[in-house]
Amino acid sequence: MSDRVSRPDRLERAEQLLSVWSEASSDELRWVAMHESILRRIGEAPRIGAEELLTPPLPRQPEEPETSESTAGLHQSGERSTFVGRWPAETTRSAPKTEYQEPQERRWTLPKHGRRLGALAAVASLAAVAAAIALLYVRTPLEPGSVSEVRVQAPRESAPNIVPAVASVLPRDSVPSSPVEAKRAINSPTRVSRTARTTARAAVAKSTAKKVNAPSAPDAESSLERQDPTMTPASGPSNLPDHPTTGAVQAAVSGPMARARLCATGLAGPISVSLTFAASGRVQDVQVGPPARDTPAESCIASALVSARTEPFARGTYEVPLTLIPAESPANH
């Protein structure tokens, strides 16, 4: 290292050298080859889950501060970050205590003081959806014939994902360690509750659908249910409501609608959507109107909304007209 350069300058000059490497240097042909290889592998690759790759990657440093107050003055001159001056005072006060929490979102959240209200609304929506799902699975059996008509977008989860799905509903000592065990658990009436079997069966259905490739997902799910006599619902109880309440429908669609809005990002104007629930409370049909009709967003919206679930009801079907406001398109970075 040159003696002409003082110690602090040395680090900064070395960092500058690294930062000049704005793009990895290589010849164009190599990038093209890599690009083609990726696209070829996409066509050939099985639908493998990537849950472990979506988790926060790094462990916490032992000496890492608990609060952000102690880090507020750490900005060094010459550092390229835009951290200082952009961090709102509110964020500083409510700095997270631990490392492993979901990233603080900047572009998709409500502005400043609206964030807390938004978070409360999201928690309330989740609770309502959870309650509706609990009602669906705990109180009432499925209606006959309703499941086979559900249009499901091709799932992209891996077979090993069955295990966590089953594990979440099984007793601790009966958590299966493999997809095979998961299937065995489903067929074991003595060890697994009906709710557990239902959830595990859905996970197995997704996995089975993936093995036979994307378009066959609904067939896989419905055929599995047809084969399994335990999925045949009992005769309908007499205490079902005629149709789901408005509140139940709102709770059922609030989450899926938020996802559907993202699908419609960039489209102009409100989109008319018609959702038809089967008596089981599952979505039987989704009709997407213009301007999303016949666009890539149509299937995306349909696949988001098909996950809506409400409480079972007595009437054959129940149609709900909805208006979808597309999410605002974020600025390109």
Partner 1 sequence: MQSDSDLDLVTSARAGDVASYGRFVQRHQQRVYRLALHLVKQRADAEDVTQETFVRAWSALDRFDGRSEPFTWVYRIAVNLSLNVLRARRARPQAPIDDDARVEAVLAEYRRSPGDPLVNSENRERVSSLLRAMETLSETLRTTLVLVTVDGMSHGEAASVLGCPEGTVAWRVHEARRKLRAALSDMNAISEVEP
Contacts to partner 1 from residues 123-162, by CB under 8 A: 153, 155-156
Binding of partner 1 by 328 (CB under 8 A): no
Q: Per rule CB under 8 A, is residue 80 in the interface with partner 1?
A: yes
Task: Please identify, using beta-carbon distances, which residue of 49 and 144 lies nearer to partner 1.
Answer: 49
End-to-end C-alpha distance for the chain, whole angstroms: 37
Determine if 268 is a binding residue for partner 1 (CB under 8 A).
no
Report the residue from 27, 29, 45, 246 that binds partner 1 according to the rule CB under 8 A. Answer: 45
146 burial via Cβ count (<10 Å: 0-12, 13-18, 19+):
buried
Compute the distance between CA of residue 198 and CA of residue 193 in angstroms, rounded to an integer: 9
Token duo for residue 67: 């609060």
Residue 19, φ and ψ in degrees, nearest 5: -70, -20
Name the residue nearer to partner 1 (CB basis): 113 or 333.
Answer: 333
Which of 57, 85, 111, 229 is the binder for partner 1 (CB under 8 A)?
57
72: contact with partner 1 by CB under 8 A: yes
- 3-class secondary-structure state, position 68: coil
The answer to whether residue 238 forms part of the interface with partner 1 (CB under 8 A) is: no
Q: Give the nearer residue to partner 1 in terms of CB position, either 17 or 234.
A: 17
Q: CA 127 → CA 61, 106, 121, 157, 240, distances in Å? A: 34, 24, 10, 25, 22
- Examine residue 294 and tell whether it contacts partner 1 (CB under 8 A): no
Strand partners, 322: 273
Q: Is 77 in the site for partner 1 (CB under 8 A)?
A: no
What single-letter amino acid sits at 70? Answer: S
259 binds partner 1 (CB under 8 A): yes
Distance of closest approach, residue 257 Cβ to partner 1, in angstroms = 13
Q: Tell me whether residue 47 or residue 243 sits nearer to partner 1 (CB atom).
A: 47
Q: Could you say which of 53, 89, 234, 268 contacts partner 1 (CB under 8 A)? A: 53
194-211 and 114-138 are packed helices; what angle lies between their axes, rounded to 10 degrees? 100
For 249, the token pair is 């429908």
In the list 76, 230, 232, 245, the residue contacting partner 1 (rule: CB under 8 A) is 76
Q: What angle do CA 294, 300, 303 make, to 5 degrees?
A: 115
Q: Does 179 bind partner 1 (CB under 8 A)?
A: no
> Among 27, 63, 173, 294, which residue interacts with partner 1 (rule: CB under 8 A)?
63
Give the list of residues 6+ apart from residue 84 with CB closer than 8 angstroms, or none: 75
**Sheet with 317-324: strands ordered across:** 283-288, 271-278, 317-324
Least distance between partner 1 and beta carbon 158 (Å): 8
Is residue 102 part of the contact set for partner 1 (CB under 8 A)? yes
Q: Is 265 in the site for partner 1 (CB under 8 A)?
A: yes
- 332 contacts partner 1 (rule: CB under 8 A): yes
Among 214, 230, 237, 241, binds partner 1 (CB under 8 A): 214
